[in-house]
Structure 1
């Protein structure tokens, strides 16, 4: 819970609004316009990460722990290494990659990540509109 208002997302929204309405119209250089567009996209990612990031991390941890439950390192709530652990278990043959439930979990994680990275991805829109 943020201590102060506005929160990160609100600050990013305000900065995006300023850059879009005040700065962008005053920029004539195409290279700067392109970089400004990238900066606006980054601000969007930061805002979405601040809103959705913790929920995403919990989802990822929960989904992957279904497959890594016997791995003591992955049982730690603060563990951020679940992807690496999964990779190690797949490489060693402990976990088969071609499992419907694993592929479904990875798809749910990917869709949640797309909501943060760019909710306008066509693949994301297909899955959330379906």
Structure 2
């Protein structure tokens, strides 16, 4: 895994409003988590779409980072990612699919650009 980005915000989805908008917890991390940001190939994005999974981007993260936080990542969690580089803009995503990779020490997270109106709590 090659670190080319960092998770700067992580919030768990805790509920939904009456309108179906997600409600998220307070910030779960006080420090950036290194990750590898991947743009999915068109075949992968299409395959995921057929499975009902929106896949605008993917990240690979060491499982040990979430273990250190005491958080089991779940679909619906809100993740803000900032690529490495000068003046790089961060993007907020919702986790749409989570898969272990290799021997399970790395987690692959499919991400969808956040589409709710309120932005969560």
The bucket for the TM-score relative to the shorter chain is under 0.3
Q: Which has the higher strand share?
A: 2
Q: Which has the higher contact order (CA 8 A, sep 6+)?
A: 2
Q: Which has the higher helix share?
A: 1
Q: TM-score, normalised by structure 2?
A: 0.23
Bigger Rg, structure 1 or 2: 1
Q: TM-score, normalised by structure 1?
A: 0.22
